[in-house]
Amino acid sequence: MTFPRIHGVVETCIYSSDLPRSARFYGGQLGLRLLESLDRLCAFAAGDHQVLLIFLQGGSVEPVQMPGGLIPPHDGSGQSHFAFAVPKEDFPAWKNHIIAMGIVIESEVNWPAGGKSLYFRDPDENLVELATPGIWEVY
Domains, in order of start, for the chain? 1-67 (3.10.180.10), 78-139 (3.10.180.10)
The answer to whether residue 17 scores a pLDDT higher than 90 is: yes
Q: How far apart are CA 44 and CA 28, in angstroms?
A: 12
The answer to whether residue 4 scores a pLDDT higher than 90 is: no
Pairing of strands 41-45, 33-37: antiparallel
Q: pTM of the entire structure?
A: 0.93
Torsion of CA 114, 107, 19, 94, to 10 degrees: -50
